Amino acid sequence: MRRSFFLASLVLSFAASAAEAPPKSYVLKAARLFDAKAGKLVTPGVVVVQDGKVTAVGAGANVPAGARVVELGDATLLPGFMDAHTHLTGEPGPDWRQDVIDDLQRTIPEQTLESLPKVRATLMAGFTTVRNLGAPDFIDVGLRNSIRRGTVVGPRIIAATVGLGSTGGHCDGGNSFRKGMLAEESTRGVANGPEALRALVRENLKFGADLIKVCATGGVLSLNSDVDSPQLTQAELDAIVDEAHARKRKVAAHAHGAEGAKRAIRAGVDSIEHGSLLDDEALDLMKKKGTWYVPTAMAFQGVRERADKGMLPEENIRKVRAVDEARKQALRKAIAKGVRIAFGTDAGVFAHGRNAGEFALMVEAGLPPVEALRAATVNAAELLGVSSTLGTLEPGKLADVVAVPGNPLQDIRKTEAVFFVMKEGVVYRNDTEAQAPSAAR
Considering CB under 5 A, how many residues would be counted as binding Zn ion?
A: 1
CA 34, CA 375: separation in Å to the nearest integer? 13
Q: Which of residues 162-181 bind Zn ion (CB under 5 A)?
A: none
Q: Which part of the chain contacts Zn ion (CB under 5 A), choosing from 226-234, 342-350, 393-401, 423-431?
A: 342-350
Q: Give the nearest distance from C-beta 349 to Zn ion in angstroms.
A: 7
Give the shortest CB-397-to-Zn ion separation in angstroms.
28
Residues 307, 359: contact at Cβ < 8 Å? no
- 352 burial class (0-12, 13-18, 19+ CB within 10 angstroms)? buried
Residue 404 pairs in a beta bridge with: 76
Q: State the minimum distance, in angstroms, from the CB of residue 346 to Zn ion.
A: 4
- The one-letter code for the residue type at 282 is A
Contact 283, 276 (CB under 8 A): no
Q: Does 346 bind Zn ion (CB under 5 A)?
A: yes
Pick between residue 347 and residue 404 the one whose CB is nearest to Zn ion: 347
Q: Is the Cβ–Cβ distance between 253 and 271 less than 8 Å?
A: yes
Stretch of 64-72, 338-346, 376-384, 407-415 lying at the interface with Zn ion (CB under 5 A): 338-346
Min CB(328)–Zn ion separation in Å = 18
Stretch that binds Zn ion, among 49-57, 70-78, 200-208, 346-354 (CB under 5 A): 346-354
With respect to Zn ion, which residue has the nearer C-beta, 215 or 360? 215
Closest contact distance (angstroms) between CB of 304 and Zn ion is 16
Residue 116 has φ and ψ, to the nearest 5°, of: -60, -45
405/419 Cα distance (integer angstroms): 8
| Site pattern 411..440 for Zn ion (x: CB under 5 A) | ------------------------------
CA 374 to CA 370: how far, in whole Å? Answer: 6
Binding window for Zn ion (CB under 5 A); candidates: 63-71, 170-178, 233-241, 339-347? 339-347
Q: Within 10 Å of residue 268's Cβ, how many Cβ atoms?
A: 16
Residue with the closest Cβ to Zn ion? 346
Site mask, Zn ion, residues 287-326, x = CB under 5 A? ----------------------------------------
Q: Are 170 and 254 in contact (CB under 8 A)?
A: yes
Q: How many Cα atoms occupy the beta-carbon half-sphere of 194 within 13 Å? A: 11
Binding site for Zn ion (CB under 5 A): 346
